[in-house]
């Protein structure tokens, strides 16, 4: 028996466009982000994929992306589970700052360390390691059992919360996952066996 796990990063947000650190702040989608979400829904519909379960974060940009996807898929009888365990990495004191302004204030090297190291958090925020520490237990307790039971589960979340999952699913090291870019609005489909191991991966 195999199940299917579909991961989607939310569509482009207003703060992505403005080059701002977003984290747990809650901007909406841009027009481009709306189209990315609709395109993702159309891609799943074209493959006749109908999820058994739907998960997203507590943040509007991910929830809106999921809403637009299921609208395009023509699905209206569903239950969506929203949980802040799937939220984006908290950027703490950097939240709301322009990334170029942050570099001017703290220097290129320090901002690069905060953004791209695995376990060094920005002031008042989370590292990717911290993010994984809340994402993975939730995944293992709530999402993985359904996938292992043969269900198809759709998760719409954020770049770093999804990185935490991809790191485990693909067996990537700390340096490898930091270099991994997860595009907005592009579904990644994993086939998972009954033991929880990945047996196939496909990008739609």
pLDDT digits (tens, 9 = 90+) for 165-180: 999 999 999 989 988 9
d(CA 133, CA 80): 23
pLDDT exceeds cutoff 90 at 1: no
**Annotated catalytic residue within 10, 36, 126, 158:** 10
Told to judge if 88 belongs to the known catalytic residues of this protein, a careful annotator would answer: yes
Q: Mind listing the pLDDT tens digit for each residue in 95-131?
A: 999 999 999 999 999 999 998 899 999 999 999 999 9
Q: E-strand spans in 90-151? A: none
Average pLDDT over residues 178-186: 93
Told to judge if 158 belongs to the known catalytic residues of this protein, a careful annotator would answer: no
State the DSSP code for 125: S
Contact of 111 with 102, CB cutoff 8 Å = yes
**Annotated catalytic residue within 36, 88, 126, 158:** 88
Average pLDDT over residues 72-95: 96
Record the pTM. 0.95
DSSP conformation letters of 124-141: TS--HHHHHHHHHHHIII
Average pLDDT over residues 172-189: 94
What pLDDT band is residue 182 in, cutting at 50, 70 and 90? very high
For the chain, the domains span: 2-203
CATH of segment(s) 2-203: 3.40.50.1240
Q: What angle do CA 191, 199, 78 make, to 5 degrees?
A: 10
Q: Mind listing the pLDDT tens digit for each residue in 29-41?
A: 999 999 999 999 9
pLDDT of residue 111: 94
């Amino acid at each position: 028996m195999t199940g299917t796990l579909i991961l989607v990063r939310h569509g482009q947000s207003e703060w992505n466009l403005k080059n701002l650190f977003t984290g747990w702040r809650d901007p909406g989608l841009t027009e481009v982000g709306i189209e990315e979400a609709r395109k993702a829904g159309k891609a799943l519909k074209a493959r006749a994929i109908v999820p058994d379960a739907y998960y997203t974060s507590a943040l509007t940009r991910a929830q809106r992306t999921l809403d637009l996807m299921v609208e395009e898929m023509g699905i209206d009888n569903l239950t969506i589970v929203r949980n802040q365990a799937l939220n984006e990495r908290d950027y703490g004191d950097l939240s709301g700052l322009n990334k170029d302004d942050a570099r001017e204030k703290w220097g290129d090297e320090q901002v690069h360390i905060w953004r791209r190291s695995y376990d060094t958090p920005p002031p008042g925020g989370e590292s990717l390691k911290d993010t994984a520490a809340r994402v993975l237990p939730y995944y293992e307790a709530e999402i993985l059992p359904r996938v292992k039971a043969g269900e198809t589960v759709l998760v719409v979340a954020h770049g770093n919360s999804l990185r935490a999952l991809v790191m485990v699913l693909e067996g990537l090291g700390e340096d490898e996952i930091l270099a991994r870019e997860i595009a907005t609005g592009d579904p990644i489909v994993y086939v998972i066996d009954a033991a929880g191991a990945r047996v196939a991966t496909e990008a739609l």
